[in-house]
Amino acid sequence: MSENNSQNFSNKKRRSPVVVVLGHVDHGKTTLLDYLRKTNLASKESGGITQSIGAYEVDYKGNLLTFIDTPGHEAFSKMRSRGAAVADLAILVVAADEGVKPQTKEAIKILQETETPYVVAITKIDKPTANLERVKQDLLSNDVLLEGLGGNISYEPISAKTGQNIDKLLELILLTAEMEDLTYNPENPARGVVIEVSHSKNRGIETSVIVKDGILRSGDFIATPSASGKILILENFLNKKMSEIKPSSPALIVGFEKAPSVGEEFQAGAKDLLAVDNDFESKNVRIMPDNNSIFEVPDKTQKTNLILKSAENGSLEVLSQVIKNLPQAKSFNIILEDIGEITSSDIDLASSANAIIINFRSKLPPLTLRLAQNKNVKIISSDVIYKLIEDLQNSLQPVIKEKGGELEVLAVFNQSNPEKQTIGGKVIKGAVKNKSSFELERDKTIISFGKVLNVQVNKKDVPVANFGSECGLMVSSKILIKIGDHLLFK
């Protein structure tokens, strides 16, 4: 195969498959891996959602299989596509009680674009609401041509909860891998793909990789297009120190002098055989692991300066992308993006730039927290991406200055007393502030006046709901408010 580039074909050896698991959020990807690994990782994941790419090795009847577990939340689409690119095979997970969903369609597109061979696992067949035939028709309508239904894509109905048919699924994977004829040459320089980067206070840069050819050894020099170093510590996926790692196996490396980029290919071997693109940093690098990150000059205007911190490089990229796509994005100025724990340098920068620190899964030492409190530096933290987004929007609302506002009424609830009506709506212009007065517009005519008594976003009391937010209001008005009415704020 082209991936081996071997000069001595007689030295080719068979390697085990690298399998990526793709599918819609909460369709059972991590639960399936839990069953295979006999662990309970899902309950340990924040919010039950996988937050970064992890790779795990499973021994099935003497056959090793490496599984890449990809995040399921919609914010992690880039990480899912990277997972597909590094894998030899894929399992497309579809829940029997829900069928094809938006992220299922995205996964199908990724698999088709990367030409990754795959099998389908129809999960949750133990649920009373499971409908296997509907799922098959859903898949067919999305160009997934199953065996027995006019196509050649293998599938297996399974229950990761009970273990039903999982052995049959593994047999399908091994059969597919055999057809792909996956090999490597132990005499070739080791190479593979970076799947995650994080920063440890005690060990420095930790780089997770999948080896695809050659044998990776402790003490090897290693390089990607953007970074290089020497392997000082080499560990397997169980964090056990190893002298060497063979192809298809996940490995953790300590020794890069600076953080490589997630998704880059690496090569290892003699130092004089490795090349690094010296222009790469000036063109692409956003972060530096030693806390000397590249950042924009702090904006002294009315924009809100932000510092983004994350435990891993891939998650940092996602966090940045999510924030830049928020409706309030034009009100933000990101001055720093960095991985690793929050340090005193971060607090000093935030204090001098009047910035807010947005923390996704990075450690916050007690002394650093105390320093932040002393310097009145605001830190917003969460271990779950969608909760961080909500907390960020809600917490930043007091500092986002909006002029006027308009809310479209989408629902009415308690209206027993016009002076205390409960309604729901969407802010379609500006912002809606608590205790603010409004004009009630119906059919483009002002018919009454009122005042906001309380504002809630995601069932939490907030001082203001900004543009794009759906919120609940308790209002006082002389007449009953109807769906379709508009509240106009000055």
**How high is the pLDDT of residue 173?**
93
pLDDT tens for each residue of 62-85: 888 988 876 655 555 665 666 667
- For the cut 90, the answer to whether the pLDDT of residue 410 exceeds it is yes
Alpha carbons 479 and 181: distance in angstroms, whole number: 74
- For the cut 70, the answer to whether the pLDDT of residue 485 exceeds it is yes
User: H or E segment at 432?
Assistant: strand 421-433
Choose from 2-6, 455-459, 480-484 the range with maximum mean pLDDT.
480-484
Between strands 470-477 and 421-433, the pairing is antiparallel
Work out the number of other CB atoms within 10 angstroms of the CB of residue 115. Answer: 7
| CB-count exposure of residue 268 (10 Å: 0-12, 13-18, 19+) | buried
**How high is the pLDDT of residue 43?**
56
pLDDT tens for each residue of 59-68: 888 888 988 8
In this structure, what token pair is assigned to residue 131?
């409908």
Alpha carbons 269 and 278: distance in angstroms, whole number: 19
- For the cut 70, the answer to whether the pLDDT of residue 469 exceeds it is yes
**Residues paired with 433 in a beta bridge:** 464
pLDDT tens for each residue of 275-321: 544 443 333 333 333 333 333 334 444 678 889 998 887 788 888 88
pTM of the shown model = 0.59
Domains parsed from the chain with CATH numbers: 17-181 (3.40.50.300), 191-278 (2.40.30.10), 304-399 (3.40.50.10050), 405-489 (2.40.30.10)
